[in-house]
A and B are shown apart, each in its own frame.
Chain A
Amino acid sequence: MEVQKLLVTPSPHILAKTNTRNIMVGVCIALLPTLIASAVIFGWYVLLLCGVTVAACVGFEALYCLIMKKPIPVGDFSAVVTGIILAFNLPPAFPLWMAIIGAFISIVIVKQLFGGLGLNFANPALVGRMVLQLSFTGPMIAFTYPQSVAGVDALASATPLYVLQQGTVPLMDLLLGTHGGVLGETCAITLIVGGLFMIFTKIISPTIPVVYIGGVFVLKFLLGIGGGTAAAVAGMDALGSILAGGLLLGAFFMATDYTTSPYTRRGKIVYGIVLAILTVAIREWATMLEGVSYSLLLANLLVPYINGLTRQRPLGVKKGKKPAADGKGAK
């Protein structure tokens, strides 16, 4: 057979199957159980809200790229992930037009103005949530109680973290998510299932969630003990504090965002510890009840420094030695 043109490229000539799109779709799948749980707990409006944020995120990204004459990143699904996570950070009865503003902030301001995928300095959905929190504080803290919980005020502004300060929330409610909160943070079981799915499919490494959640547990426990509480009670309190609020959502789905988390295992451990300390400090001593989003934002800003300080030592390089000036012997 006459050979036609041969393709010539540098090696390697085979590549792994994983691509950006697979990864992002995997994250969407991991988020799905929580979305379903949320719809069951808070009602169908949640699905509409999530659909609107996703559509707005994808639409804003396409529109921006069209106007800026950039290639439209159709199909990488990263805007879909941002949309779902943004919705997960909103109260269940949040007005749609405000959610669309949040999507604009996330995608256009935080992601695309800084260069698009991989170049944003902070998690887009997170900043979107914060801008909404500061702009529309009322609706953002209007935590509807689940319909299933009878006899409770439908607009009580109580989240488990608030209630925990007053008394206790049954552990079962925390696990099932039948309590107030933003729509994606309440159901601990589905968040953990989604997180484990991402770990087993190697989308994320377990380092950050384990260190972060473990760190919060240990710190809360120690603070409890230090405050004179019995070990068993302090343990239950600490357990409650990792199940309540946005910790699981933050640890599995937001702290592990590739762009805004460190590269190496060492860096990820440092990042997890920083997050745990900040979260507990804010929850304990600041005026805010919820510490996850602000700790994430602060830690996001530290990532470039953490990366610079936690590089792995290349094979054969002696610690503290200056780079070889002559490059001698290096083949």
Chain B
Amino acid sequence: MLQKLRTMGKGAHVPHRKGTDELATVTMPLPPKVVMVMQQHIGAPCLPSVNKGDEVFVGTVVGKAQGFVGADIHSSVSGKVTGIEQVMMPGGALMDAVVIEPDGQQTIAPEITPPAVRDRESFLAAVRAAGLVGLGGAGFPTAVKLQPKDLDAIDTLLINAAECEPYITVDNREMLECGDTVLSGIMAVKKYLEIQKVYIGIERNKPAAMDLMFSLTKGDPDLEVVALPARYPQGAEKVLIETVTGREVPNTGLPADIGVLVLNVTTVSAIGKYLASGLPLMTKRLTVDGGAVVEPKNVEVPIGTPIENVIEFCGGFKTQPTKVLCGGPMMGFAMTDLSFPILKQNNAILALTAAETDISVDTPCIRCGRCIGACPVRLSPIEIAEAYDAKNIEMLGKLHAEVCMGCGVCSYVCPAKRLLAPKTTLARLLYLKEANK
């Protein structure tokens, strides 16, 4: 009751625009080249493990993870390495990338066999070998997530199928098209990590997927499908946990600290797929949509395919796009260059027309408090922005700038169209940097 009152009216009713939710996934032909970027996860970048001229197969490791927090990168095609090149990441940093020219044979690497999983250890080794990262967009290495400090304290597995970003329908398609591997993935995590209770959280705007999950989980009292309000950012980890379990992730901690493990539905399905086939994560389903795209589609794309080839497969542009985004319109990156490749954690390419996207022109803050009322983690974005402008670190600490997750709701609701979200993110980074000194 108290929690209901606290969270009442939080978040924002963003437009759904999920026009592709009934489009079955189509597989795209091989592109002329794939570019395997060495950073497709949170953590240290991978090191290229192949050289120019090497022959690689489907599933060959081309980027080796460095350290515990990392995930191997596997070739999505068979062919020849034409070079190790540098590409510019959306943030502006330069990153190594293995460029491969496909031979069209799609020969599978000889070492690929379904993993022999007997116990927890071999299960975790399998997840690590699959090169899995959080496919909802964050890209946190899944094997790392499955090994929290105190595994015994985890009593709840929460499957995130909220998919609250506008346009994107890939998790919806995953449930509808791969319900069996979603379920086998869940059961494997549940079994080997010995987690009692599983919730599958789905926003109410996906009735077909919800019905299917209901029927698949019927008869197992440990599995529960939860209908979530369709309100952005319902799929943000902390918000989802609070909605489903009523628990709050500590501002200085992780979901594991309160006994919850959250996995995206496509990620858990990928675990199921790997256990059955031994094929690591090499393709990704993308929603290609937006007013500038001739034929919006859900496409299965080899990881490393340049964006321009994906757009081409969807008929190209019918009008000039104003922005091309990797990800959704609330948290996605605006791309400068369409030769950038698809990464593991990408879930959408959106080519938006001028009418579909809004450009903020700062006007004076009228102190309406909408940003504060809507902040899903209950911060005070306007006060944080002002403290950031004054570089007042003490105030940033008092306002708990570190809790911000960058969901963008404050900017979205602001009637003065102020750039609150980017500023709050900058404030968080500044505060963490100063506090760690």
Whether chain B is bound by chain A comes out as yes
Q: A residues near B, CB below 8 A?
A: 1, 3-4, 6-16, 18-20, 22-23, 73, 76, 78, 116-119, 205, 258-259, 262-265, 311-318, 323-331
If A6-B334, A316-B249, A324-B251 touch, does A23 touch B364 (CB 8 Å cutoff)? no
CA distance in complex: A1, B431 (Å) = 45
Does A10 contact B419, Cβ atoms closer than 8 Å? yes
Which residues in B have their C-beta under 8 angstroms from that of A118? Answer: 364-367, 416
Which residues in B have their C-beta under 8 angstroms from that of A76? Answer: 363
Does B364 contact A119, Cβ atoms closer than 8 Å? yes
Does A330 contact B321, Cβ atoms closer than 8 Å? no
Partner of A6, one of B336, B408, B415, B422: B336
Which residues in A have their C-beta under 8 angstroms from that of B356? Answer: 14
- The minimal Cβ–Cβ distance linking A181 to chain B, given in whole angstroms, is 29
Closest to B140 in A: A331
- Tell yes or no: B82 within 8 A of A by CB: no
Which residues in B have their C-beta under 8 angstroms from that of A13? Answer: 323, 325, 329-330, 332, 334, 352, 357-358
Closest to B251 in A: A316
Which residues in A have their C-beta under 8 angstroms from that of B324? Answer: 3, 6
Does B367 contact A263, Cβ atoms closer than 8 Å? yes
CA distance in complex: A78, B363 (Å) = 13
Which residues in A have their C-beta under 8 angstroms from that of B408? Answer: 11-12
Spot the interface stretch: B98-106, B297-305, B376-384. B376-384
- Tell yes or no: B390 within 8 A of A by CB: no
Does A328 contact B252, Cβ atoms closer than 8 Å? yes
Report the count of interface residues on B (CB-CB < 8 A): 82
Does A313 contact B378, Cβ atoms closer than 8 Å? yes
Does B369 contact A263, Cβ atoms closer than 8 Å? yes
Which residues in B have their C-beta under 8 angstroms from that of A326? Answer: 252, 435-436
Does B238 contact A14, Cβ atoms closer than 8 Å? no
CA distance in complex: A262, B367 (Å) = 9
CA distance in complex: A331, B325 (Å) = 23
Q: B residues near A, CB below 8 A?
A: 6, 12, 14-15, 166, 238-239, 242, 248-254, 316-318, 320-325, 327, 329-336, 338, 352, 356-360, 363-370, 372-373, 376-380, 382-383, 397-400, 402-403, 405-406, 408, 411-417, 419, 421-422, 425, 428, 431-432, 435-436
Does B320 contact A258, Cβ atoms closer than 8 Å? no
If A312-B372, A317-B251 touch, does A327 touch B331 (CB 8 Å cutoff)? no
CA distance in complex: A102, B367 (Å) = 24
Does B252 contact A14, Cβ atoms closer than 8 Å? no
Partner of B400, one of A3, A4, A314, A331: A314
Partner of B417, one of A1, A19, A119: A19
If A22-B415, A118-B367 touch, does A10 touch B12 (CB 8 Å cutoff)? no
Closest to A18 in B: B415
Does B369 contact A315, Cβ atoms closer than 8 Å? no
Which residues in A have their C-beta under 8 angstroms from that of B383? Answer: 311
CA distance in complex: A119, B367 (Å) = 9
Which residues in A have their C-beta under 8 angstroms from that of B321? Answer: 3, 6
Does B368 contact A23, Cβ atoms closer than 8 Å? yes
Closest to A260 in B: B367
Which residues in A have their C-beta under 8 angstroms from that of B252? Answer: 324, 326-330
